[in-house]
Amino acid sequence: MISAPPDIFRVGINLPQVMDSPHGLIAFAVFASLSGLWLAKRFSVAKNIPGPPSASFFTGNLLQLVAPETGRDWQLNANKVHEGVARIRTLFGGSALLVNDPKALHHILVKDQDIFEEWPAFTATNALLFGDGLVATIGDQHKKQRKMLTPAFSIKHLRGMTPLFVSIARELEQHISSMVRTQPIEIDVTPWLNRFALEVIGKGGLGHSFGKLSQHNDFSAAAKDLAASVSVLVPGAPLTPWFKYLGPAQFRRFILKLIPWGLLQRLVDIVNIMDAEVHKIFAAQQKALDAGVSDEGEGKDIMGILPTDTTSGAIARLLHLLALNPDVQSHLRHEVVQAFHHQDEAIDFSNVSALPYLDAVVRETLRVYPPIPTIFRQALKDTVVPLLHPITGVDGEIMKEVYIEKGTDIFINILGSNHHPKTWGGDADEWKPERWLTDLPDSVLRNRELSGVYSHQMTFLAGKRACIGFNFSQLEMKVALAILIQSLEFSLPKDKEVGWNVGLLMTPVIRGSNSIHGQLPLVIKKLD
């Protein structure tokens, strides 16, 4: 297994060190060239839209948006102070729009979705990391891939996969139970949840096992580090679409190897490890197909690159919240135990979905703490987007619509939308599962009708690029939680405080730690 050097978690880059190295000078020249190309294509954003002041000419508000531990609060505050549309600063004095107004999001994601395409930086980064898969394509190619995959995510198909989910979840529970059988023990649950989610994707999506849940391996370690590593590089994402012009992949890798930054080198290693493993899986499947052999039990291919960190992160957040709220944990355990009287009883999809409190806990967690807080779009032509809630312009004018120029970057504030006080009320920031057990406010119902989103929230987006695996993810979450909560009790360690870093994904970390990678220590007790 690859061991990371001590400086791998350093977020900064030593510019003098780069400039003193001949290889560093070459890399810096390439970076400067990419910056110049990006600046030449940068478009302005309507200056009458208010927003937070820029923190830096070079990075604008981007470092605030992804700042460890404080980025989430900054995103929430930006749209509350500046209402449903805010102008934020990006690289080198550029501008973008941070949007959470319900009507504006409906136009961007649904009604005018052909005008607002996936952010080029997002698709380019995914293409460089994973190849031209579903999350890296646009237009007709994306539609074709999505059409092919959609049947695999149907409710009917997922019902047939439930025994597989249950089997893997029980394996997870048994491993953890064996560790805490005699006394409560503090365990970092993030590697366990990551391997669980990876195994669900592997067996459920590829008919392939990535190894025992109790054992570390290069691939699971790489998958665990991927999202956190990429998150640090988000402020530089606007430059990635130009990276493909540097020539073939081998030359691009050569350029990256010249940059003396441990975190970037770790990202290169991660891509190499994952690429090699996926090619091995593909070769094995191709051999089986050529031989006319298939695994009908587990080989119902879904896709090989569904991000495991989104679901494992959501389950981690659930366990953390239950540890913070023992009364909710007790209530949930009572419901699950009453529904499934014997621990060995098989759990099917309909039974899990019919548990109202379990469903409420999952829905509220996804609303208040969406695993992906922000997603991006770019305007393909000049357009006008109406607002449900008018804003006040810099000049004092009341604006009921916003003019958006071609090329404008749009930051979809999923987090802000799910916390919008005019939609969810004055307690929008509070985690209250019981809100789903009563009638929702009319404002929430109107938002559901307007946006066409799942469960009245923006967590899974809407339109042609909405999350294709939202049913898969929720089933995985509910099955895992229903099995773990029956026999295990979760509480917080006394000597550690957990925070959550915002970036590409929300990641749990120990406050005061210099590590950017996930850590969620919980005290786990075995119940009779």
**Residue 363 and residue 325: Cα distance in Å, rounded?**
16
* Secondary structure, 3-state, 47-88: CCCCCCCCCCCCCCCHHHHCCCCCHHHHHHHHHHHCCCEEEE
**Residue 433 and residue 318: Cα distance in Å, rounded?**
11
**Residue 519 and residue 521: Cα distance in Å, rounded?**
6
Cβ within 8 Å of residue 233, ≥6 positions away: 263, 264, 267
**Residue 107 and residue 114: Cα distance in Å, rounded?**
10
**Residue 278 and residue 513: Cα distance in Å, rounded?**
33
Kindly state the tokens that stand for 113. 């979705």
Contact 494, 140 (CB under 8 A): no
**Residue 397 and residue 388: Cα distance in Å, rounded?**
16
Cβ within 8 Å of residue 425, ≥6 positions away: 441, 443
Cβ within 8 Å of residue 131, ≥6 positions away: none
Kindly state the tokens that stand for 151. 């049947």
84 is annotated as contributing to ligand binding: no
H helices of 325-456, in order, are: 326-339, 349-353, 356-368, 414-418, 421-424, 442-451
Sign of CA dihedral 257, 259, 264, 266: positive
Residue type, 299: G
H helices of 91-232, in order, are: 102-106, 120-130, 139-149, 155-179, 190-201, 218-232
User: 305 in helix, strand or coil?
Assistant: coil
The two beta strands, 409-413 and 95-99, are parallel
> Residue 104 — φ and ψ, nearest 5°?
-60, -40
**Residue 282 and residue 424: Cα distance in Å, rounded?**
46
* Secondary structure, 3-state, 284-343: HHHHHHHCCCCCCCCCCCCCCCCCHHHHHHHHHHHHHHHHHCHHHHHHHHHHHHHHCCCC
As a whole number of Å, the end-to-end CA separation of the chain is 37
H helices of 374-469, in order, are: 414-418, 421-424, 442-451
CA 77 to chain centre: 20
**Residue 71 and residue 61: Cα distance in Å, rounded?**
10
State the residue for tokens 């998958």: 223
> Residue 124 — φ and ψ, nearest 5°?
-65, -40
Binding site members for heme: 467
Binding residues: 467
